[in-house]
Amino acid sequence: MRIENTLPEEEHVTALRRQLQRFVAEKAPREKRRAWDQAHDWPRDLFAELAAMGLCGLTVPEEHGGGGQDIVAAVAAIEELARVGPALAGPFIHCAFYGGMNITENGSDAQKRALLPKLARGELLFAYGLSEPDVGGDLASVKTRGRVDGDAIVINGAKRWCTGADFADYIYCLINTAPDAPKREALSFVLIPANAPGVTTTPITHVNLRYTASCDVHFDDVRLPLDAVIGGPEKLNKGWGMLAGRALDVEKLEVAACTFGFAQAAVEEAWSYAQERVQFGKAIAAHQAVAHKLVNARTKLEACRHMLYHAARLAHEHRPCAIETSMAKLYTAECGVEIALACQQVMGAYALSDAYDIERNVRDLLGMPIVGGSSDMQRNNLAGLWRLRG
């Protein structure tokens, strides 16, 4: 059973969906999805094919070689790719969102000229270096230190959960560059080549999002030109604005779109399974308790679709969307967990074997309220945005 998009959308977005649906049906069958998950790996050749279709240019302006910033299409692309797990959606995000979106929004003219054409062609991958061993939600407290030394910046510290640091070209890294200043006036983003002298990367074992290993990264006297500061040297200590700006709003959409794709796949698989599995003389879908689980899951899914694409449309039109993107991330992640657990129950013992995708989707969906800003951090954001605090 396949759940189709129910919302009105522009023809080119529907055409892109169809193209990606054919692509994954042909090139990402279940045995390959399982193998990528087991090996913590993703298919470089298929990503190159997606890039050749122009996918990576979806977040890059035309003057820099992209297709214009088409946020709705980019979100739809993640949704379609995530239906087969994170192995294709992940690298697309590392290129188009961690790279294309951030450099478009925050890069200097020189950084845009140097990086965006390559990102639009899918030739560069970025990793996100925000979290640290002692820093999760409270990002303004990062301890990784950047010290200006003449026309260079010298970086020392550690990042944790830096997904893709093992394959990325650059780490888009949040650091403290003014330890004596108030926290929000002390932050900068720097672009650290993942192979720079002084960078060491160690994989972390984890159960979710296994298209790669998330990594611990250490920076020991990593010396870079000051031009490595995102936005150029004049943007030193201006990182908080970048963290709270449009790029982060779109980042929340990227996590929500992935969640939505995983959840949709879970419902589709459980729905089909329930039609085929016969117990007590009839398909289990004909048992009311099973049917209700599936109907509830599909209804939640539909609510998520509306929230996600409403927020994506606002972001696409450059309208304020901090509230809508936070709500979409929060609601999709929370529904994703409920959907995962309901579908797992419907599929019984088989949901616990790797014969079906549900086993991977449950693992991935359970992590989505944590990654990319936890549900409680979204609630805090929303409370602040709605002025509910204190």
Ligand X SMILES: Cc1cc2nc3c(=O)[nH]c(=O)nc-3n(C[C@H](O)[C@H](O)[C@H](O)COP(=O)(O)OP(=O)(O)OC[C@H]3O[C@@H](n4cnc5c(N)ncnc54)[C@H](O)[C@@H]3O)c2cc1C
Least distance in Å: CB of 284 to ligand X? 33
Q: Under rule CB under 6 A, how many of the chain's residues touch ligand X?
A: 22
Q: Which of the residues 191 through 220 are near ligand X (CB under 6 A)? A: 206, 208-209, 214
Least distance in Å: CB of 42 to ligand X? 14
Among 97, 161, 331, 356, binds ligand X (CB under 6 A): 161
Least distance in Å: CB of 158 to ligand X? 12
Strand partners, 44: none
Distances (CA, A) of 79 to 9, 21, 99, 376: 14, 10, 19, 24
Distances (CA, A) of 157 to 154, 161, 192, 340: 10, 14, 13, 37
Among 234, 376, 384, 388, binds ligand X (CB under 6 A): 376
Report d(CA 209, CA 212) in Å as an integer: 7
Among 29, 68, 137, 225, binds ligand X (CB under 6 A): 137
- When asked if residue 175 is in the footprint of ligand X (CB under 6 A), the reply is no
Report d(CA 345, CA 339) in Å as an integer: 10
- When asked if residue 373 is in the footprint of ligand X (CB under 6 A), the reply is yes
Report d(CA 306, CA 104) in Å as an integer: 27
Q: Are 356 and 350 in contact (CB under 8 A)?
A: yes
Of the candidates 148, 174, 177, 179, the one whose C-alpha atom is nearest the C-alpha of residue 159 is 174
Among 54, 65, 136, 198, binds ligand X (CB under 6 A): 136
For ligand X, the closer of residues 186 and 209 by Cβ is 209
Mode of pairing for the β-strands spanning 278-279 and 282-283: antiparallel
Phi, psi of 200 (to 5 degrees): -125, 140
For ligand X, the closer of residues 67 and 373 by Cβ is 373
- When asked if residue 370 is in the footprint of ligand X (CB under 6 A), the reply is yes
Among 111, 351, 377, 381, binds ligand X (CB under 6 A): 377
For ligand X, the closer of residues 27 and 379 by Cβ is 379
Report d(CA 129, CA 143) in Å as an integer: 12
Question: What would you report as the CA-atom Rg of the chain, rounded to the nearest whole angstrom?
Answer: 21
Q: Which of the residues 104 through 123 are near ligand X (CB under 6 A)? A: none
Least distance in Å: CB of 303 to ligand X? 22
Cβ-proximal residue to ligand X, closest one: 136
The region of 128-136, 143-151, 293-301, 348-356 touching ligand X under the rule CB under 6 A is 128-136
Q: Which amino acid is at 304?
A: C
Binding site for ligand X (CB under 6 A): 128-131, 136-137, 161-163, 206, 208-209, 214, 367, 370-374, 376-377, 380
